[in-house]
Chain A
Amino acid sequence: MPTLLIKNVPEELLRELRRLKVELECRTWAELLEKLVKRGRGGLLTLSSEEERAMKEAVGEFLKLREVVSRKWSGPSVLEEFRKARRHEG
């Protein structure tokens, strides 16, 4: 495996890299680099036409679920349910 030596890394950047290494659970700097590269690609995410179609279909299928959910839902409003579940309210 090749070795990468990086000189003149600013202190602030190094601190951020150390934080990310812990946060992203990387055992090595090479692992961190790999994850950051993948993340960077994620930031420029381009959907394939298939993925785009699947998302549109999912929205349509979600709409179809509205009837059954609305009919069968028993209990409080959605907001009340979530606030209780997250313990915002007693």
Chain B
Amino acid sequence: MTLDANVFVAFLKADEAYSQECVEILRKVPEAFILAEPSIVYQEVCGTLARRVGVEVARIAQKLLDKLIHPALLVECSRAFCLSAYDLCRRFNVYSIDALYLKVALDEGGILVSLDEEFVDRVRERGPPIEVYHASELPY
């Protein structure tokens, strides 16, 4: 399963809409799901925490992401990876960073979960070969 970075951060912010749903999703790791993520998840989660909460908390989150994401399923956002992902922006009418998460989910044949309903809707509209859910509606 590929979680958009916003799911990790919403998990951490208890008063965020759908925070509890994000907790329930992450609680299913690793028994029900194993995470496959693009490496940009570090920048998005830790960068957001550094900016909004503090660098110390961001560093803790970084170490937790290290434990949570198996190295074999952490996809480096290399030049080659980005080159292979950008056509998804057109095919699915999504923004650049969104396409990186989508690419990992497609490559792994996994489930994509995001807090951003618009992202989810845009992907779904084009009939992807994977399951795509808003954080509030994961059926598992």
Residues of A within 8 A of B (CB): 22-25, 41-42, 45, 47, 51-52, 54-59, 61-63, 65-70, 72-75, 77-79, 81-83, 85-88
Contacts and interface: CB of A to CB of B under 8 A. Distances in A.
A76 B10 CA distance: 12
Contacts of B5: 82
Given A22-B80, A70-B12, A82 B52 contact: no
A73 B98 contact: no
Contacts of A68: 53, 57
Nearest to B84: A23
Given A22-B80, A23-B80, A81-B48, A70 B70 contact: no
B116 A82 contact: yes
Contacts of B49: 69
A78 B29 contact: no
Given A45-B73, A88-B95, A70 B11 contact: no
Nearest to B79: A25
A81 B52 contact: yes
Nearest to A88: B95
A73 B6 contact: no
Interface of B: 5-6, 8-17, 23, 26-27, 29-30, 34, 44, 47-49, 52-54, 57, 60-61, 64-65, 67-68, 70, 72-73, 78-81, 83-84, 95-98, 115-116, 118
Nearest to A75: B52
Contact of A51 (B26, B57, B70): B70
A36 to B, nearest CB: 13
B11 to A, nearest CB: 6
Nearest to A47: B30
Contact of B78 (A25, A57, A82): A25
B123 to A, nearest CB: 14
A83 B116 contact: yes
B6 A78 contact: yes
Most buried by A among B27, B30, B78: B30
Given A23-B83, A52-B30, 8 more contacts: A58-B67, A63-B23, A65-B64, A70-B13, A72-B57, A73-B53, A79-B6, A82-B9
